[in-house]
Amino acid sequence: MSADDDDITEELLTDAAKLTGLSLELLGLDPHPDDMTPEQRLQFDPEDLDEMAAVSPEERQKAVSQTRLLAGLLWNSSSILIDQLFRDLGTLSDLNEVTGSDVAGTSVLSSLPPQFAASYDAKFTQKFIVVASDVTSSLARGWTAPGCLAAELAVRCLLDQAEITEDIYELDLPDDWRAQVEEVLLEDADSQALYSENLDVLEDDADRLGFEYWFKPLAPGDTVPPYAWS
């Protein structure tokens, strides 16, 4: 690991404290039974509690460090995500017509479902920035499930960026960290189907997954920022 790698690790560990909307336990850290309330211990089988208690102090310290690093990575990546979306907006704003090849050259929009690329114009990008900003704000104010398909896609873009940073700096994270985070942030999400190469899937669920529904609430009670919903 280089000096730069050490610097980014320290930066991410510092950023971890800012991510107050998700607990370390939600990010995959198994709590120690001694740190639980009696009510919390009742949620686990005795065998599971024994297994948690048997973790050595060294293993526990490593798990805590890795989870804090993941928290900092998500915080850091959320800032990069919004910054790159503004860059994408600047690129598309200069175009009279957006093509798939234009979108393929962008930083964030290129990771959205490619079959809809021609629709990712400047207006779409503005609305997507608003939704992505709302999603990333939940990392601080308290996590709430994405309220629309576009918000689910913004979460996927956030995790894509996190993976890029992880690869660049070879961060010491659990191998299954993305699956763990997706299970929390994208529980019961429908947006993965938008990446399907099977057109029948999209046609069968066009009343839910069609592009015109991306910024509409998924269910009663779900919220979407007014600018994006308009």
CB 142 within 8 A of CB 158: no
Q: What share of the chain is helix, strand, coil (3-state, %, to 5)?
A: 65, 0, 35
Average pLDDT, the chain: 90
Question: What does the block give as tokens for 80?
Answer: 């990069």
**pTM for this entry:** 0.89
**Which has more confidence, 43 or 157?**
157
**Which has more confidence, 88 or 210?**
88
The answer to whether the Cα torsion of 110, 116, 120, 124 is positive or negative is: negative
CA distance 136 to 184: 14
Please choose, from the candidates 147, 161, 168, 149, the residue with its C-alpha nearest in 3D space to the C-alpha of residue 110. Answer: 161
Q: What is the mean pLDDT of residues 209-221?
A: 93
Q: What pLDDT score does 4 carry?
A: 59
pLDDT of 1 above 50: no
Q: What pLDDT score does 42 carry?
A: 78
For 22, how many CA atoms within 13 A lie in the half-sphere containing its CB? 29
Q: What pLDDT score does 144 carry?
A: 93
